[in-house]
Chain A
C-alpha cells in the first residue's frame, strides 16, 4: 500500500482543488486502495513557491503548480501566459496540444512527469470606468505580479505596480492600484465589487495549473498502478477543462449579480490589445528561440 502526500496551492473551494480531490478518489478506487493520495490544499504542506522543488527533491511525490511560475526557468513555461495569443478555450486547447510535449520534455529533464493541466478562466480587466480604448489606461496604476504582467501594463501605457495577492483589496481601496487583470474566479472569490466597478471580458490568456509527479516515485509504482494514475489524469484533464469553462460563465454571472458592470471589449480595444499581444508574442519568440517558434507555428497551423 502506497501513500502519497500532495501539496497544492489553492483552497478547497477552488475548482482546481475539487478536480484534484476527484482525481485522488479515482486513483484510490482504480488501485483498490493500493495507492492513496492525501491532498494538502491551500499551501498547508508546502507553499506555492516550494511545491515544484519539493516534488523534484522527492519530499512530496506529487503536487500542483501554476505552469507559468516556472517561466523564469525556461520561456516555454510562459507560453500559456502570452496575452492574446490564445484568448479562448478553443485556442487555449490548441496551444496546449502544440506545447504539451515540449513542456513535458522540459519537466522530464528535471525528473518530473507531467500528468495533466487545467486552465484558469481567461484573464480579464478589472477597472473603475468603462474602458473602450487603451488611451484610458494612460498613467493608470496597474497591478503587475510577474514580468509578463509588467510588460503588458507598460504596453498599455499604464503604470505597472507591484501588489501581492493578499494586499489587493487594501491596494484598491486606498488607490495604490486602480486596475488589474485576473480571472473571474479570483474576482468573485475576492469580492472584487467591493473595490472595483467594471469588468471587461478580454479573456486575454488562460494560464494553466499542472499536476506533476516525481519521476522516480512514479516509475516505482507497479505497471497497473501507473496506468490507473494515467487514466485518472486523462479523465481529470477533460473534466477540469469542462469545469473551467462552466466556471467562467458562472463567475461572470456572480460579478453581474453583485452589481459590477460587465462588458465585452470594444472593437477599438480589441484591436489595440491584439497589437500588444503580437508585440508580446514576438518578444517571447525572441526569447524562446526555435523551440518557441515551432510551438507557435504548430498552434497557428491547427
Chain B
C-alpha cells in the first residue's frame, strides 16, 4: 500500500478511536494493530507482547512513579502550601506573581528528572491547586505548566538526549551541557511572556497579597526552608555521587516522607492515599507509553516515518530550508506520535542529510529536543496534555489551547537557536576545552 493512503487511513482511524472516547492507550494500540495488519505480514499480537514488555521493562522509568509519589506526599502535607506562602511575598512585585513558580519549579525539577511527564505531573499536582486557591487565571496557570513541563527533556538529565546520543554516537555529557543554555533561554522566554501577559491583563490577575509585616514575611519565608532542603538533598545526592539521577527520585520520596511526618499532618491514611494515587497516575502514563511503543514498532515495520523523512532528503533543500522543513515535519508527526518515538524512528534517515548539509550534530540534538518538546503539548497525542487532563480533569484540546502561546514561544526559541547556533554550542565548547 502507498505510504500516503496508509497515512490517511491511520490518521482517520486515530481520530475516530479517540472520538469514541476509547482510552488513549487502547486507541494507540488499535491504530498500531490496523497498521500492522494492513501493511505488514508480521503477527501483531506477538509483536505487541514483545514490544510492551521491552518498553516498560526499563530501569530509568522507575524514577517516574517515585517522583509522582513525592509530589503526592508533598501535596498531602502542608509543605506545598507553605512553599507558596513563602514565595508569595517574594513574587509580589513581579508581574505574573506566583505563575512564575510553575516556570521556576519545572526548571528546577527538570534538573533532576529526565522526563517531561514526571516534571509536569509532580509540579502540577502541587502548584495548580495553590494557584487556583489564590485566584490566578486557570488558563494561564495550566498553560505555563504545560509549556514549562517540557523542560524535563531539555535541561539535563534528559531521556531524549540519552536516546539521541546513543543512536548517533554523540557524547551524552556534551549533549547535556549543550541543553543548559537553550533550556534557560526557553525559561526566560516563558517568564517574559508571563510578565507581559500579566501587565496586559491586570483584570485577570488576583489582588496582590496584603503586605506582610517583617515578622510575617520572615515566618512565611521560613516555610520555604523544608522544600529548599528537599531540592538540595535530591540534587546534592546526584552531585555527591551517592545516587544516580534515577535513584535520586527515591531520595525525594524519603525526604518528603520525613518532612511530611515532621509536619504532623501526614498520617497513615495520607500515606496510603499518596501511594495509591501515585500508582494510578504512573499506570495511566505507562499504559499510554505501552500503546505508543506498539504504535512505534508498527510504524517501524510500515516504514511511514522513514519514507516521509526520506522524501524531505530528496528535495535537495538548502540548510535553512531543510531546518524549516524538518520543524514542520516534526510538528506534524509530533501531533500523532510521542517525541522519543519520532527521534528513534527517523534519526537514521535524517542524520545523514543533516550532516551532508554541514549542520553540527550536537546542535541538531538540541534542535530535535526543542521540536520534540512541542509534540508534548500538541493534540491529540501529547503526554503533557494527558498528564494535565488527569491532574485538572479538563480535556486535552482545552489544555492544548491554553498551551498554544507557549507552543509559539518554542517555535520562536527554535528560530533563535537556528539563527544563533552558539546558544547551544558555546557552553560545551567552553567547558569541554582541554
Q: Give the B-binding residues of A (Cβ under 8 A).
A: 5, 11-14, 38, 40-47, 49-50, 53-54, 57-60, 163-171, 173-176, 189-191, 193-195, 258-259
Q: Is the CB of A189 within 8 A of B244?
A: no
Q: What are 21 A-to-B residue pairs whose CB atoms are below 8 Å? A: A5-B42, A11-B168, A12-B351, A13-B169, A40-B300, A41-B167, A43-B167, A44-B345, A45-B297, A49-B54, A57-B46, A59-B42, A59-B46, A163-B244, A171-B241, A175-B241, A176-B242, A176-B244, A189-B171, A190-B171, A258-B434
Q: In the docked arrangement, what's the CA distance between A179 and B427, Å?
A: 27
Contact B47 A44 (CB under 8 A): no
B residues in contact (CB < 8 Å) with A: 42-43, 46-47, 50-51, 53-54, 57, 59-60, 157, 162, 165-174, 176, 238-242, 244-246, 297, 300-301, 303, 344-345, 347-348, 351-352, 432, 434
* Interface contact A11-B166, CB-CB below 8 Å: yes
- B171 and A166 contacting across the interface, CB-CB below 8 Å: no
A174 touches B241 (CB 8 A): yes
Q: For residue A38, which residues in chain B have a CB less than 8 angstroms away from its CB? A: 303
Which residues does chain A contribute within 8 Å of B345, judged by CB atoms?
A: 44
Please pick, from A42, A49, A59, the residue contacting B348 in the complex, using a CB distance under 8 A: A42
Q: From residue B387, how far is it (CB to closest CB) to chain A in Å?
A: 23
One of A47, A164, A173 near B173 (C-beta < 8 A): A173
Q: Check B297 against A46 for contact (C-beta < 8 Å).
A: yes
Extra contacts besides A12-B352, A42-B347, A195-B173 (17): CB < 8 Å: A5-B301, A11-B168, A42-B166, A46-B50, A50-B54, A57-B50, A59-B46, A164-B244, A166-B172, A167-B244, A170-B244, A171-B241, A174-B239, A174-B240, A175-B240, A175-B241, A176-B242
B46 and A174: CB pair below 8 A?
no
Give the shortest distance, in Å, between A119 (CB) and chain B (any CB). Answer: 19
Inter-subunit contact A259/B434 (CB<8 Å)? yes
Q: Assess whether A50 is in contact with B169, with CB atoms less than 8 Å apart.
A: no
Known contacts A44-B344, A191-B173, A54 near B167 by CB under 8 Å: no
Given that A42-B347, A166-B172, A193-B434 are known contacts, is A50 also in contact with B50, CB under 8 Å in the complex? yes
B238 — which chain A residues lie within 8 A by C-beta?
170, 174
List chain B residues, Cβ under 8 A from A170. 157, 173, 238, 244-245
Q: Closest approach, in angstroms, between the C-beta of B9 and any C-beta of chain A?
A: 20
Q: Could you tell me the dominant secondary structure of chain A's interface residues?
A: loop
Contact, CB under 8 Å: B166 / A166: yes
Complex interface: chain A residues within 8 A of B47 (CB):
59
Q: Which residues of B contact A54 (CB under 8 A)?
A: 50
Residue of B nearest to A168 (CB): B172
Shortest CB-to-CB span from B374 to chain A, Å, is 21
Closest to A40 in B: B300
Complexed CA–CA distance, A173 and B177 (Å)? 13
Q: Would you call A189 and B59 a contact (CB within 8 A)? A: no
Kindly report which residue of chain B lies nearest to residue A54, judged by CB atoms. B50
A58 to B300, CA, bound (A): 16
Q: Are A194 and B300 in contact (CB under 8 A)?
A: no
User: CA of A41 to CA of B169 in the docked complex: distance in angstroms?
Assistant: 12
B344 touches A42 (CB 8 A): yes
Residue of B nearest to A39 (CB): B348
Give chain B residues whose Cβ lies under 8 Å from the Cβ of A166. 60, 162, 165-166, 172
- Say yes or no: B434 contacts A171, CB within 8 Å: no
Q: Which residues of A contact B60 (CB under 8 A)?
A: 164, 166
Provide the bound-state CA to CA distance between A167 and B165, in Å: 12
How many angstroms from the CA of A292 to the CA of B51 in the assembled complex? 34
Task: Give which listed residue, B42, B169, B300, contacts A14 with CB less than 8 A.
Answer: B169
Contact check, A169 vs B173: say whether CB atoms are below 8 A apart: yes
A19 CB, nearest partner CB in chain B, Å = 15
Residue of A nearest to B428 (CB): A194
A190 touches B50 (CB 8 A): no
Which residue of A is nearest B162, CB measured? A166
How far, in whole Å, are A285 and B187 apart by their CA atoms in the complex? 58
Q: Quick check: A11 and B297 within 8 Å, CB to CB?
A: no
Q: Are B168 and A176 in contact (CB under 8 A)?
A: no
Taking the closest CB of chain B, its distance from the CB of A36, in whole angstroms, is: 12
Alpha-carbon distance between A82 and B323 when the two chains are bound, in angstroms: 48
Q: Tell me the bound Cα distance from A11 to B345 in angstroms.
A: 12
A40 CA to B297 CA, complexed, in Å: 11
B301 touches A194 (CB 8 A): no
Least distance between B177 CB and chain A CB atoms (Å): 9
Q: Is the CB of A169 within 8 A of B344?
A: no
Task: Closest B residue to A141 by CB, please name it.
Answer: B241
In the complex, residue of chain B having the shortest beta-carbon distance to the beta carbon of A14: B169
Q: Are B300 and A171 in contact (CB under 8 A)?
A: no
On whether the beta carbons of A46 and B173 are closer than 8 Å, the reply is no
